[in-house]
């Protein structure tokens, strides 16, 4: 019996999926942006611009993916942007400190780091996960409101960034870094492929496994999850660790593109990440949303911002636009949810 | 025979200023239904949360099959195969029925949607066991209160427990479903499970239990065999005073003019052509089974949901109620069944809750006239005999009966002349029930028109002047008090 049901051909799911997709307002929004972009600018659909767009999506998309997981549990992570820079700074600074100990001086010349990049990446990932764990433990075990906990992290990490770098930028010179930042694979930027990889892993975990489903349960009704015998605190910590890891990967992609890292970089990106998750349909109150929809959200967001830039709209107005979009999407999603309920 | 499944020895638990449990001893054998009764505030809830690991006792011992255990959390309780059906609905509204039922014990990792299909099938089987027809793929947030209760019960059953605790499982079930539930409990009992059954419905307790333990003020008044025990004896054990039946609250009254008139209102695929009228000083009940949509009608009258066709008249004037705000202005008060979710602001004080519906009247130049608010609140606390330590006590700390009295008091303070009461005695003990019925009769005495929706038909027949019966969104029957008969009304349930 069950075998018949379970092996029911995937084709029968593809069609409803496509129908759902066609009914999704965000898909229409993306299409609209591209159509308007193509009509108003001859550069919009050029390969160069699209590659640029994909690289932008990679950075903010990675941040938003981590944010989505945290939001699913009904919490928030304001530290992602600061952490994304911090993890790279830690990686570089630790390596420059270690260099004299292992007797090699060639690692650093002035503010240029030319040593091996793989250890930097590993240290960055560890740092991301560790800070995420600290956030998570503070929120889950010490019951600090997530807003406060991660706001404190944000401020502290920003401060550490200056302390560790002494306020100077570091230049990063490494072939691997150049490859991540600039190269393409089958015509698609490597950084975007990296983002897609993380996306697939997260979709698999969050939407495909029982454990991933816990995030939805906790966000829907934490008490119910607790009463069902779920160790909710552990899952909250896990969500923050995922967010921290995503931030570190975003940091790698971001700094690989700039070939440098500097303390004040990526200020305000945490709001961008929240905006994207919400545009993708994630509920700030938790329990609703998915990594897949966050992909759509980040494409819509990056495409819109890219269009504004092409039109020559100033950065400050772009920030204003981010704010308006965030408020509008939260308001609209609340309203549509109410409607579908009644 | 062996050791009892569950033994509690000399359990003591104090909260600041209150002894919730004083030296409570309780035991449960395999294949037995042991009922736990007592008025609200007697300590049942605390005892249950001790059993479920949510509250750690100050002293005393818990043994499971003779082995002392420390239940440090719900997880540990579940691991000891001790499951609890919660009185309040503790469900994830964003997940499906099946996902809620198997939350925390999903079948091991079959990836993706295939798993969902299997999960739905398992949920269907489980729902089938208690003869409930509910689509396991539906989101719990879309279900009615009664349907959510069923999900809650299925969830406990899904853990295949050895000890199953029912905390007021029938509070929102109709007689039919109660019968089903009791049937299931008998089956579980025959399978050797131990069942702890907490209910205010003493008829059920006498029907299903083998033994009963009565709690009063944190003490065990006695543990009795059910055989040979009568309801009256049980009640006097519980309250320590004479039993006053719900009907005693009823008084004959003179009716005034028609206060609320509903003319042929319809809402597509919800209800159709519903008409009713309530005169001043009259209590009219709407009876019906789960899914009869009487709640939807009540919500439309209160302006919380729109209607497609028809007319609502208040004191003879046609009104269009687009929001609860407009309904309240027109003099309609609404006491929702879900008092924790919709009736009260739990983290606010008793005084603030009582004053909530009259804030406008309590304000002057935007400032709150605190003294007047407290005077009003104090008067209500006295009038309704609400047991509180003071106006500053939080609503969340009160027992169900006292919370309900606050919901009622809020609308008394407001002084509107039409009141819609949904299940006002849900999860409330015998003593408080009588007081609540007296209060509701008192509302009618003052000339208010009362529209009453309760799940227990007997209660409705005791309290109402007239009863309307609904079935699948239509009015199928209409009875005056002199013609009340459970049989005739039940007949209209399925018409």
Residue A167 lies in a domain: yes
Residue A338 lies in a domain: no
Sign, Cα dihedral of A101, A105, A111, A114: negative
Confidence of residue A12 (pLDDT cuts 50, 70, 90): low
Q: Work out the minimum CA distance from A82 to partner chain B, whole angstroms.
A: 32
Residue A39 lies in a domain: no
Cα radius of gyration (chain B): 23
Full 3-state SS string of B134-198: CCCCCEHHHCCHHHHHHHHHHHHHHCCCCEEEEECCCCCCCHHHHHHHHHHHHHHHHCCCEEEEE
Cα radius of gyration (chain A): 21
**Structural domains of chain A, count:** 1
Confidence of residue A67 (pLDDT cuts 50, 70, 90): very high
Residue A134 lies in a domain: yes
Residue A321 belongs to domain spanning:
45-276+290-333
Give yes or no for a contact between B212 and B399, defined as CB atoms under 8 angstroms apart: no
- Mean pLDDT of the residues in chain A: 86
- Residue B409: C-alpha distances to residues B87, B352, B390, B444, B455 (Å): 24, 12, 15, 14, 22
pLDDT at A214 over 80: yes
Higher pLDDT, A79 or B365: A79
- Residue A89: C-alpha distances to residues A47, A82, A116, A264 (Å): 32, 11, 15, 11
Q: What's the distance, Cα to Cα, between the start and end of chain B in Å? A: 51
Residue A261 lies in a domain: yes
Q: Pseudo-torsion of CA B411, B416, B417, B419, nearest 10°?
A: -40
Tell me if A6 and B305 make a contact (CB, 8 A cut-off): no
Q: Which of residues 77-116 of B touch A (CB under 8 A)?
A: 78-79, 84, 86, 90-95, 99-100, 103-106, 108-115
Residue A9 lies in a domain: no
Q: Which domains does chain B have, with CATH numbers?
A: 6-244 (3.40.50.300), 247-493 (3.40.50.300)
Residue A138's pLDDT is: 95
Tell me if B94 and A220 make a contact (CB, 8 A cut-off): yes
pLDDT at A9 over 50: no
Residue A5's pLDDT is: 38
**In Å, how far from its chain's centre is CA B92?**
19
CB of A42 within 8 Å of any CB in chain B? no
Residue B284's pLDDT is: 93
Kindly report the CATH number assigned to the domain that includes residue A300: 1.10.3470
Higher pLDDT, B69 or A238: A238
Query: Which of B75, B91, B103 is most worth mutating to test chain A (most A CB atoms within 10 A of its CB)?
Result: B103
Burial (0-12, 13-18, 19+ Cβ within 10 Å), A45: exposed
CB pairs under 8 A between A and B: 77
Residue A7 lies in a domain: no
Question: Least CB-CB distance to A221: which of B78, B79, B93?
Answer: B93
Mean pLDDT by 10 residues, chain B (495 residues): 80 77 89 84 82 87 88 82 81 89 73 69 83 84 79 84 85 74 83 86 86 86 84 74 58 86 88 91 87 86 88 89 87 81 78 76 71 81 80 79 82 83 78 80 87 82 89 88 81 73
Tell me if B117 and A5 make a contact (CB, 8 A cut-off): yes
Residue A190's pLDDT is: 93
Q: Which tens digits make up the pLDDT trace of A109-167?
A: 667 887 788 889 999 999 999 999 999 999 999 999 999 999 999 999 999 999 998 88
Residue A215's pLDDT is: 93
CB of B257 within 8 Å of any CB in chain A? no
Q: What is the ipTM of this complex?
A: 0.74
Residue A3's pLDDT is: 35
Residue A88's pLDDT is: 94
Q: Work out the minimum CA distance from B143 to partner chain A, whole angstroms.
A: 10
Residue B244's pLDDT is: 47
Residue A116 lies in a domain: yes
């Amino acid at each position: 019996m069950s075998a018949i049901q379970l092996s029911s051909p995937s084709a029968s799911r593809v069609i409803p999926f496509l129908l759902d997709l066609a009914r999704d307002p965000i898909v229409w929004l993306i299409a609209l942006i591209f159509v308007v972009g193509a009509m108003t600018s001859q550069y919009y659909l050029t390969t160069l611009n699209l590659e640029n767009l994909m690289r932008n999506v990679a950075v903010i998309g990675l941040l938003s993916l981590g944010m989505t997981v945290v939001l699913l549990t009904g919490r928030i992570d304001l530290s992602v942007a600061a952490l994304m820079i911090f993890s790279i700074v830690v990686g570089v600074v630790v390596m420059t400190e270690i260099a004299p100990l292992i007797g090699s001086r060639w690692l650093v010349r002035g503010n240029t780091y030319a040593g091996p990049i793989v250890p930097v990446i590993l240290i960055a990932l560890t740092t991301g996960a560790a800070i995420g764990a600290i956030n998570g433990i503070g929120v889950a075990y010490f019951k600090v409101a997530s807003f406060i906990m991660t706001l404190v992290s944000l401020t502290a990490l920003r401060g550490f960034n200056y302390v560790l770098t002494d306020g100077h930028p570091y230049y990063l010179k490494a072939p691997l870094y150049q490859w991540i930042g600039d190269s393409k694979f089958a015509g698609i930027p490597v950084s975007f492929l990296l983002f897609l990889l993380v996306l697939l892993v997260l979709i698999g975990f969050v939407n495909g496994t029982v454990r991933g489903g816990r995030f939805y349960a906790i966000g829907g009704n934490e008490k119910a999850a607790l009463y069902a015998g779920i160790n909710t605190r552990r899952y909250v910590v896990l969500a923050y660790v995922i967010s921290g890891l995503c931030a570190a990967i975003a940091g790698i992609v971001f700094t690989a593109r700039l070939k440098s890292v500097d303390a004040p970089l990526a200020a305000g990106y945490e709001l961008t990440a929240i905006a994207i998750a919400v545009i993708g349909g994630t509920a700030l109150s938790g329990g609703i949303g998915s990594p897949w929809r966050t992909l759509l959200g980040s494409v819509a967001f990056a495409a819109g911002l890219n269009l504004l830039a092409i039109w020559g709209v100033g950065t400050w107005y772009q920030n204003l636009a981010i704010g308006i979009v965030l408020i509008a999407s939260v308001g609209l999603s609340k309203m549509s949810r109410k409607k579908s309920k009644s | 025979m062996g050791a009892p499944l569950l033994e509690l020895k000399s359990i003591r638990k104090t909260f600041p200023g209150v002894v919730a449990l004083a030296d409570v001893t309780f035991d449960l054998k395999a294949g037995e239904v042991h009922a736990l009764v007592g008025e609200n505030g007697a300590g049942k809830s605390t005892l249950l949360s001790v059993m479920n690991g949510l509250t750690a006792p100050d002293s005393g011992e818990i043994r499971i099959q003779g082995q002392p255990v420390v239940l440090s959390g719900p997880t540990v309780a579940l691991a000891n195969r001790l499951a609890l059906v919660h009185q309040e609905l503790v469900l994830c509204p964003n997940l499906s029925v099946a996902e809620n039922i198997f939350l925390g014990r999903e079948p091991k990792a079959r990836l993706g949607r295939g798993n969902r299909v299997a999960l739905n099938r398992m949920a269907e089987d489980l729902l089938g066991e208690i003869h409930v027809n509910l689509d396991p793929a539906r989101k719990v947030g879309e279900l009615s209160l009664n349907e959510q209760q069923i999900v809650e019960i299925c969830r406990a059953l899904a853990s295949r427990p050895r000890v199953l605790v029912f905390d007021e499982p029938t509070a929102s079930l109709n007689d039919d479903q109660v019968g089903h539930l009791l049937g299931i409990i008998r089956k579980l009992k025959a399978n050797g499970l131990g069942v702890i059954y907490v209910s205010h419905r003493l008829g059920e307790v006498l029907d299903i239990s083998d033994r009963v333990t009565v709690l009063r003020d944190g003490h065990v008044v006695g543990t009795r065999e059910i055989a040979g025990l009568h309801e009256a004896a049980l009640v006097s054990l519980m309250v320590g005073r004479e039993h006053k039946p719900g009907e005693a609250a009823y008084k004959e009254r003179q009716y005034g003019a028609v206060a609320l008139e509903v003319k042929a209102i319809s809402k597509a695929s919800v209800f159709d052509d519903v008409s009713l009228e309530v005169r001043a000083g009259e209590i009219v009940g709407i009876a019906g089974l789960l899914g009869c949509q009487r709640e939807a009608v009540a919500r439309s009258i209160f302006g919380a949901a729109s209607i497609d066709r028809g007319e609502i008249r208040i004191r003879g004037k046609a009104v269009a109620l687009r929001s609860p705000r407009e309904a309240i202005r027109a003099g309609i008060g609404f006491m929702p069944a879900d008092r924790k979710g919709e009736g009260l602001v739990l983290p606010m004080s008793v005084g603030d809750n009582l004053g909530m519906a009259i804030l406008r009247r309590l304000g002057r130049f935007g400032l709150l006239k605190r003294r007047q608010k407290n005077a009003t609140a104090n008067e209500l606390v006295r009038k309704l005999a609400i047991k509180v330590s003071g106006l500053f006590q939080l609503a969340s700390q009160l027992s169900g009966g006292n919370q309900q009295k606050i919901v009622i008091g809020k609308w008394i303070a407001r002084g509107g002349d039409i009141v819609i009461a949904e299940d006002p005695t849900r999860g409330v003990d015998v003593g408080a029930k009588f007081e609540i019925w007296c209060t509701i009769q008192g509302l009618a005495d003052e000339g208010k028109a009362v529209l009453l929706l309760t799940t227990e038909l007997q209660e409705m027949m005791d309290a109402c002047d007239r009863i309307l019966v609904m079935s699948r969104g239509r009015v199928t029957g209409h009875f005056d008090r002199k013609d009340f008969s459970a049989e005739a009304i039940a007949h209209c349930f399925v018409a």
